[in-house]
Structure 1
């Protein structure tokens, strides 16, 4: 069993056994038929993934690496808020007639701010600090901008990254660690998708900064399983598991803005059957 499978199974069991139901409460999400989408939820779930040991793609079912990387590049590299720059349809429900999702996600990362070193956006600030001041305790991003929330078609779910550099005691090489803060997460639809995305992001920042990867810590304030997902989750976590896949990142890419989806691969990725047509609450 991979470490990611073990974490996922234990997290799902904990939510199902010890979580709190929102049934009967006033909730915002709903299903396509207009029915309220209730959940079983746990507050403050924290999962730690040691990226130096394995890539955290679960094997219970396949996580579509190319698609989740395409989305992370759309947000962090293209800094886009328009679905026409994206190669999937996962954001279609939140886009307007022009394809815009409002002043959300990539839009926020692309805003330039004034620093004593000059003007730069949040992504370039991370790249600058990792190069010039790696031991800073201020290397972070935040896209939950209250001033612009009214112009976002969906409030950010994964909203903050904090990067922290340590040193490998044996090799003396710098090690990049990160914390992903998420206010809310649909465990079935999005958990491993987000974990894989931000694991790739840490690999990208580490490589272009000449560092090794360390830990990705995922903090979820509201970790929930939707009512219509409960039987799917129960079946999923009883499936056989396999060894973790091997992650490949193109070693020749040294510029963060030159990565493409073809610069990443999962080798020997053996998984259970894919789950199709998962109902998504909106």
Structure 2
């Protein structure tokens, strides 16, 4: 069993067996038919993945690695808030007639701020510090900008990354670790998608900064399973996991802005069938 599968199974069982329900309460999300979308939830879920040991892609069902990398690069590399710059259609429901999702996600990554070293956006600041001040405890991003929330078509869910560098005894390279803070997560639809995205991001940043990827910690304030997803989750976690796939990142790319979705690959990725037609609450 891969560690990612074990973590996912344990998390889902804990939510279903020990979580609290929002049924009958005032909730924002609705299903396509207009009825309220209730959840079973756990507060403050923390999952840890050691990227030096395996890549955390589920084998219980397939995670589309190129699609999730494409979305991550849309935010972190292209710094775009327009769905026309994205190959998938996952953001279509939140885009206006011009394709914009407002001042959200990639828009915030592209805003330049004044530092003592000059004007930089958040991504360039992270890369600058990893290369010049790797032991800084201030290497982080935050796209939950209150002054712009009213101009965001969706408030950020995964909103902050904190990077921390360590050095293992006897190693000639530094180790890059990261914590993703997420205010809310639809476990069935998005959990492994987000995990794989930020695991790839850590690998990419480690490579361009001549480090190696270490631990990825995922903190979820509100980890929830929607009422209509519970039977799907129960079927999913009843499956027998396969071994974790092997991760490949194009070793020739040394500039973060040169990575494409084609520079990432999962080899020997054996999975169970995909769960299709997952209802999405909006």
TM tier relative to shorter chain = over 0.9
Aligned to 1:189: 189
Asked whether 1:127 is paired with 2:123, we answer: no
In structure 2, the residue matched to 1:250 is: 250
Distance in 2 (CA, whole Å) between partners of 1:26 and 1:95 is 25
What do you get for the CA RMSD once the two structures are aligned? Answer: 0.4
Q: Which residue is 1:233 aligned to?
A: 233
**In 2: Cα distance, 1:190 partner to 1:170 partner:** 38
Query: Are positions 1:216 and 2:210 aligned together?
Result: no
Which residue is equivalent to 2:100? 100
Inter-partner Cα distance in structure 1 for 2:200 and 2:47:
16
State the match for 1:169 in structure 2.
Answer: 169
Instruction: Name 1:61's counterpart in structure 2.
Output: 61
Indicate yes or no: 2:136 matched with 1:136.
Answer: yes
Match of 1:269 in 2: 269
Matches of residues 72-111 of structure 1 in structure 2 within 5 Å?
72-111=72-111
1:139 & 1:67 partners in 2: Cα distance? 27
Per-residue CA deviation, residues 211-255 of structure 1 (Å, 9 max, x unaligned), is: 010000000000000000000000000001100000000000000
Query: Structure 2: how far apart are the matches of 1:80 and 1:87?
Result: 12
Summarize deviations over 1:48-96 as a string: whole Å, max 9, x none.
0000000000100000001000000000000000000000000000000
The answer on 1:148 being equivalent to 2:148 is yes
SS at match of 2:202: helix
Structure 1 residue runs of 4+, over 2 Å off? none
Alpha-carbon separation, structure 1, partners of 2:239 and 2:169: 39
> How many Å apart are 1:170 and its aligned residue?
2.2
Task: Give the TM-score taking structure 2 as reference length.
Answer: 1.00
Equivalent residues, number: 282
Distance 2:164 2:275 in 1: 36
2: CA distance, partners of 1:220 / 1:172:
33
Deviation for aligned residue 1:172: 3.5
Structure 2 counterpart SS, 1:13: helix
